[in-house]
Amino acid sequence: MRFSPVAEISRSALLHNLGRLRQLAPGAKIMAVVKANAYGHGLTTLARWLDDAGVNGFGMARLEEALCLRREGIGARMLLLEGVFSEEDLELAASHDLEVAIHDCQQVAILERARLSKPVRVWLKLDTGMHRLGVQPHQFEALYQRLRALENIQGEINFMTHFAVADEAENPETTRQIALFNQLTKNLPGERTLANSAGTLAWPVSHGQWVRAGLALYGGSPMIAGRPEDFDLRPVMTMKTTVLAVREHRAGDPVGYGQSWRASRDTRLAVLAMGYGDGYPRHAVSGTPVLINGKRYPLAGRVSMDMITVEIGDDPIQVGDPVVLWGDGLPVEEIAECASTIPYELLCSTTARVQYRYVD
């Protein structure tokens, strides 16, 4: 027997979530955000599934991610959310029909200098409040006019922005961001995209022509106060492993590094094949839930590189029994909370030694 974690990736859950996004944003096209290895789910398989299901386009952070999908034969529209940073990369983008975000004057200058084999589609990114990337309101008119003068641009100039706090349903900042975006782009031709997953779920007025959905597509809830089931989303990734040892444990005895947890009674511990070397969060606290044979048990003691320990009391658990760390039956949001992080980080943190099983 071999004990190692397996990330089970469900096609039907992905397609269900895509369907939900289509219901939630009926007038918008769906841009599937597949950066960071499709949020840890596996870039090429997920993109293939989504493409087959007729998703309208893909968004990614890095040129390599898009080129990889083009090599796989995926012909859908693709947007580089941060754009490119050299003339060579701009030519690569243009020749592979990739669309680029333009977020500052350097990128406008690159477009002005480049001698491209064919024009490229651009999305002028406006900073309406995120203050990370994006053209600032006072720069907008001048940069827009510079772009309009270029022959390197295919079709109309499109517009995008990114929300800072759309995950907070009551925060008026998102309404302010939407208003600023609408004011700057009023009466201009071109497509618009504002909404990430939170925008798609909670801010219908932000839908525009395209919504850019990442986490919700993978079945996570982007809302601070919200679980996936509130939006009828299903986890695409279920992280599974097995019990590799079961041990008697005396009251008062500690377990693991730092001896940070001690048993309050005579009990038993299950040792599970999953540690931070696989992507389980090292900062998960004692008490973090784990499912063994479908029942919840609390993590006991510190997370090691290859193992975690769980208190199971007298339950008849045996070596080889199935474990779920997050996913189906155990929301990744809950584990993220116990580790003071966010579901995005957990999903992206799966390491190379975890096996992937793609299922229907």
List, as residue ranges, the binding site: 132, 305
Q: Which amino acid is at 319?
A: V
Q: CA-to-CA distance for 84 and 92, rounded, in angstroms?
A: 10
E strands, the chain, are: 6-10, 29-33, 57-60, 77-80, 98-102, 122-126, 158-161, 192-193, 210-213, 237-249, 254-255, 261-262, 267-272, 289-292, 295-298, 308-311, 322-326, 355-359
Give the nearest distance from C-beta 349 to ligand PLP in angstroms.
Answer: 15
Known active-site residue 35? yes
Token pair of 221 as six digits: 């809830």
- Among residues 125, 144, 257, 344, the one annotated as catalytic is 257
Position among 114, 213, 338, 354 found at the interface with ligand PLP (CB under 6 A) = 213
The binding site for substrate consists of: 132, 305
300 touching ligand PLP, by CB under 6 A: no
What would the 3-class secondary structure string for 241-296 be? EEEEEEEEECCCCEECHHHCEECCCCEEEEEECCCCCCCCCCCCCCCCEEEECCEE
Q: CA-to-CA distance for 195 and 199, rounded, in angstroms?
A: 4
Give the nearest distance from C-beta 195 to ligand PLP in angstroms.
Answer: 8
Count other C-beta atoms under 10 Å from residue 16's C-beta.
15
222 touching ligand PLP, by CB under 6 A: yes
- Among residues 35, 125, 218, 240, the one annotated as catalytic is 35
Residues 135-194 close enough to bind ligand PLP by CB under 6 A? 162
Token pair of 84 as six digits: 């490119």
214 touching ligand PLP, by CB under 6 A: yes
Residue 157 per-residue DSSP state: P
Q: What is the size of the binding site for ligand PLP (CB under 6 A)?
A: 13
121 touching ligand PLP, by CB under 6 A: no
Known active-site residue 297? no
215 touching ligand PLP, by CB under 6 A: yes
Give the nearest distance from C-beta 236 to ligand PLP in angstroms.
Answer: 13
**42-81 mask for ligand PLP (x: CB under 6 A)?**
-----------------x---------------------x
Residues making contact with ligand PLP (CB under 6 A): 33, 59, 81, 162, 196-198, 212-216, 222
Q: Known catalytic residues?
A: 35, 257
